[in-house]
Amino acid sequence: MILVEIVYIVIASFLFQLLSIRLGKWAIDNGIQGPEARAKMFAMAWRFSDAVVAVLVLAILWFPLLQVGIDGPWTVRGGSFGFWIAAIYTVLFGGMFVIGSLFAGLTVPKGDQVAYFRDRDEKMRAEGLR
């Protein structure tokens, strides 16, 4: 079970990164050429959708895969080692992507999103991602 958990964590993290990049490109493409309000709308949609997908990744890990509470409130399939791997991953991944994306989404109205999108677009072009 531990091996399945580790494989899930690696694959889910990789797929999450790919999805986040695609969502970022979508937000940049739609928000870069327009008014600031439109750019903010797309930036918020990007950040909040990242948070929702990250929560879904963690929920799949804990509930269907590890079946939290299988033998008691703090037990998982895979035993205590599986629990601690999932707990550490939840703190790291959840802190970075759930809390980070929510914070970024909530602070979008304070910033200049068109300028941010232009900067991100230039960096992506320089790195060959566009």
* Percent helix, percent strand, percent coil in the chain, to nearest 5: 80, 0, 20
Over its length of 130 residues, how does the chain's per-residue pLDDT go in tens digits?
A: 899 999 999 999 999 999 999 999 999 999 998 899 999 999 999 999 999 999 999 999 999 999 988 888 888 988 889 999 999 999 999 999 999 999 999 999 998 999 999 999 999 889 887 6
- Provide the sign of the torsion angle of the four alpha carbons 121, 122, 123, 129, taken in this order: positive
